Structure 1
């Protein structure tokens, strides 16, 4: 459980960086609906990449533990 939490934290930090980058690249639109859509897409990407990176880190740790045994 501890390893999954650490991997999730790392993935979440990477997701936050990606979300900030998307927010910087895509300028703030003047309409609230377009802004909400942009934030939703940014959240989707950051959540996906955060979860994906957490899975990659956890898989790497599992492979290292299996090869050490």
Structure 2
């Protein structure tokens, strides 16, 4: 696996806040896992993701975008 730039070692965004308050907390922050999409898709265009008992579909488009659907 290729090393990623240090700027990606810790992701911070309000949607990543586990407290649900809408703001990223600076206390007890843990770096978010960072994966390459190719690592998830493994050469294909679609991968299934099980999350809290529901099946989601992650799909790569012809234009190189990602779509996540339930």
Specify if TM > 0.5: no
Higher RCO by CA contacts (8 Å cutoff, separation 6 or greater): 1
Q: Give me the TM-score of the superposition, normalised by structure 2.
A: 0.23
Q: Give me the TM-score of the superposition, normalised by structure 1.
A: 0.23
Structure having the larger proportion of residues in strand? 2
Structure having the larger proportion of residues in helix? 1
